Amino acid sequence: MAAHLQLSGGVGSGHLKPQFPLNTRFPDLSSHRPRFTVRLSPPAVVAAASARRRYTITLLPGDGIGPEVVSVAKNVLDLVGSLEDIDFGFKEMPVGGAALDATGVPLPEETLAAAKQSDAVLLGAIGGYKWDKNEKQFKPETGLLQLRAGLGVFANLRPATVLPQLVDASTLKKEIAEGVDVMVVRELTGGIYFGKPRGFGTNEHGDKTGFNTEVYSSSEVDRIARVAFEIARKRRGKLCSVDKANVLEASMLWRERVIQIASEYPDIELSHMYVDNAAMQLLRDPKQFDTIVTNNIFGDILSDEASMITGSIGMLPSASLGATGPGLFEPIHGSAPDIAGQDKANPLATVLSAVMLLRYGLGEEKAADRIERAVFETLDKGFRSGDIYSTGKVYAAFILGRFETGWMQRDGRPSFEVHRFASASLRTPDVVIREEKLHPKPSTPARIIDYLCKFRPSPSAMNSGHNTGEASAATTKTLAFSSGNPRIEETRGVMHLFRDDVASSSSHLPVGRKPLVCVLGVPNHMTYADFCQFCGAFVQHMLEMRIVRNDEMEDKYSALITFDSQDSSDGFYKHFKGQRFSSFEPETCNVLFLIDVQYTGSIEHGQASPVTSSEQPTCPVCLERLDQEAGGTLTTICNHSFHCSCISKWTDSSCPVCRYCQQQPEKSTCFVCQTSEDLWMCVICGFVGCGRYKEGHATMHWQETQHCYSLGLETQRVWDYVGDNYVHRLIQSKTDGKLVELNSRCSHAGKGDSSCDCSEDPGISEAMLNSKVEAIVNEYNELLSTQLENQRLYYESLLQEEKKEIEKEIAAAVAQAASTNAKLLKINAKIDKCLDEKKFLDDVNENLLENRDIWNAKLTEIEEREKNALRQKDDKICDLEEQLRVLMLCLETGNSLE
């Protein structure tokens, strides 16, 4: 297979929709690649090979990065369909937050109906900060749960395989992560996510509560267990059931049913593990797992954890299958709204979900293999997005052949600049890759997919194999250019270039060309670092780059580039000719071959100078020599030269030298009192302090550090605190101790001593001068060594003092923590005692209240009894009074009769 992933044509199976489990074959440990294939039963293989198959796929982009990654997968499916005689009909529908904004519900009825009527469903991602505060029925995630229930999918397959290409991206040690190949089988439509009752309530204390129900039926456990056993049988024959049977009754039923189903699969090694232990073992020794089966919520958590072992959640697909109907295929990552629209999302999980869609949902094995091989070869060649990028040694691959434009331009959407990385050197008829060490740099997802989508070379690349003409002197054009600051020194010149029509295509290169090219009309908003980044790995092959301005081009500059070989310049021409500088702007890269450059004015380091004994200029950034053999050089438009690797790190649009020279020096002040008068700077450590006529902080610094030399910022003379004088002894004469000048003049000259012939013998004068210079150098070196040693001792003493202070603070903090802990224990004891007393008082109060009720009842009874007694007494009195009245009446009657 060619390096540009030209995938051979072929014919897939017929229009079939195999449902799980149709003799599924899962990842092989030896390959470490997530190869999901379906081996169809004999009736499924007899479809006509020549007929074009047609499928309807419902696309649910969702929220956040969902539309980005789904768009990538859609275009990949379109391209592979054109190679495999497959017609895909896509129907895009809203779901999640997008559906909420459009229709007010997370899953419109039209979306669910379209999904049910399609052959497969490809989902992007759901959710975002925007809808986090919505009520539950209006949250995007509710739409996903309703979609799964509506499609009747219950088995969620989540592979987690550490690819050899990405083992360094794992957060675990290489020896732990290498070779991990786990399949998590998650029950999808039951458990706590769907169990009832659920909702909100109020407890006996008046507090608001929220509750959910973890519920499973034996039939739900049985069907997912059988799926897991079938998968384990196609893998390495090991199945681990994860539950929480020591606490949860639902897990107790889960384990009971899994053990029961295991009797149907005697060839499978079954084990059980509590979920908390499983989470730990996945990090400690993930290679012990083959297939994991678990419930909905445990599978949601463990599959995400397993995905990070692979290096990124953005690399893993998933498939949700049911007994009938279309399957649901989606990446397991979230919507990542913080990076949405920034071309940072990793689309490979969605592309691999499309692979599972082709295999599980449609039975298109060959088409799935095409995309899968493209993904793996892309990773083999070192392509990385930010989430799976790891530091280390990477290689730049120059794809110098001429290919068909990527899918983004074919759809009328902005194209992205492409940086390609490869891990080996190879050459094919239309692809040339050169191996170069680079500073590690991740590529964006769009660059990866740009490489993915280049399945075929363009017709011009396949048909061209010879040059169509030769250049002549009449096929050139001349442009004037200038560089430098016109107020200081300006360099002008003329460049002779081959015309555009001489090299009308990348395969027709002008005869007699040199490894010199000119990039005309680079927009001024592109900094030097941006242009170096645009050139990508070709920077490593550039010997010299000069930035110039053309008189007839406003707001643009040009770059004259010298390459190390003709192949490099040809490759640069083929790769960047006509390519846009930015995906958001129309300017394209106009590359022409240079015939000659003639300078009409003075120029510094403009042309290769003959070898002399003078020292080469140095780069103002790294201070290393501007040696073209060690790395390319870039001369800015202001005639300042740098290493390309240094200027590529300069993010500002201005020249580093010009910017530094234009900055006004800051006024120095004393580090202690901030005064700006009578300042002295320590020549050993750079401390700036005021002199003895102010606060004397410079003298204090000498007393503390023993740095005895200080430079007066006004006089620029060095003071020796030990000698209490300005430093002159470095240029004192050894004979008389007087100050002398460093020249060949005799010390007796000017005294009228005509007998001295020292001045007349230049050899003696030179010997004396060399002796003095040597003495000065030796004394200075000894002085510097002594002062540096004193400086080391001084800072070591400061470190020791700081260490002691920190230890004291730590000891005080520990003591205070112990004291606080003791106080806390006492407070807790008092709180416990108060709680006990409160409980006792509550009991007493409760008893008193009960007694009060009893006594109130008794009092009421007594009052009622007294009332009855009084009433009876009154009745009796009335009766007696009546009897008395009758008796008196009788007596009166008797008396009257008598």
**Could you give the 3-state DSSP secondary structure of residue 666?**
coil
C-alpha 664/C-alpha 667 separation (Å) is 9
- Helices and strands (DSSP H and E) totals, the chain: 20, 31
- 276, 652, 761, 842: which one is catalytic? 276
- Active-site residue among 74, 244, 344, 577? 244
Give the single-character DSSP code of 692: T
Q: Is 300 an annotated catalytic residue?
A: yes
Torsion of CA 423, 426, 429, 430, to 10 degrees: 30
In degrees, rounded to 5, the angle at the alpha carbon of residue 224 between the alpha carbons of residues 223 and 229 is 100
Whole-angstrom CA distances from 127 to 79, 131, 199, 486, 893 are 29, 7, 21, 58, 113
Residues 6+ apart with CB under 8 A from 114: 58, 91, 93
Told to judge if 736 belongs to the known catalytic residues of this protein, a careful annotator would answer: no
Pairing of strands 53-62, 86-92: parallel
Token look-up 């459009």 returns: 102
In sequence order, the 6+-apart residues with CB closer than 8 A to the CB of 774 are: none
Length of the chain equals: 898
How far apart are the C-alpha atoms of 489 and 749, rounded to whole Å? 45
- Cβ-based neighbour number of residue 162 at 10 Å: 26
d(Cα 281, Cα 288) in Å, to the nearest integer? 8
Q: What is the 3-state secondary structure (H, E, C) of 391-452?
A: CCCEEECCCCCCECCCHHHHCCCCCCCCCCECCCCEEECCEEECCCEECCCCCCHHHHHHHH
**Whether residue 139 lies in the annotated active site:** no
Q: Which residue among 300, 369, 450, 678 is the active-site one? A: 300
Question: Does residue 244 have an active-site annotation?
Answer: yes
With CA atoms as reference, report the closest residue to 348 among 381, 382, 321, 313: 313
What residues contact residue 881 under an 8 Å CB cut-off, 6+ apart? none
Angle at 631 between CA 629 and CA 634, to 5 degrees: 120
Tokens of 829: 């004891």
Alpha-carbon gap, residue 272 to 659, rounded angstroms: 67
State residue 567 phi and psi, 5-degree precision.
-60, -40
Radius of gyration of the chain (CA): 44
One-letter amino acid of 334: G
Indicate if 276 belongs to the active site. Answer: yes
Segments of 162-249 assigned E as strands: 181-187, 199-202, 208-211, 238-243
Please report the DSSP string for 96-124 in residue order.
THHHHHHHSSSS-HHHHHHHHHSSEEEEE
∠ CA 597-603-604 to the nearest 5 degrees? 120
* Structure token pair of residue 643: 């290493």
Helix then strand then coil, in percent of the chain rounded to 5, is: 40, 20, 40
Lookup result for tokens 């403009």: 606
Whole-number Å distance between alpha carbons of 227 and 9: 34
CA distance linking residue 365 with residue 108, whole number of Å: 33
> Active-site positions?
193, 244, 276, 300, 304
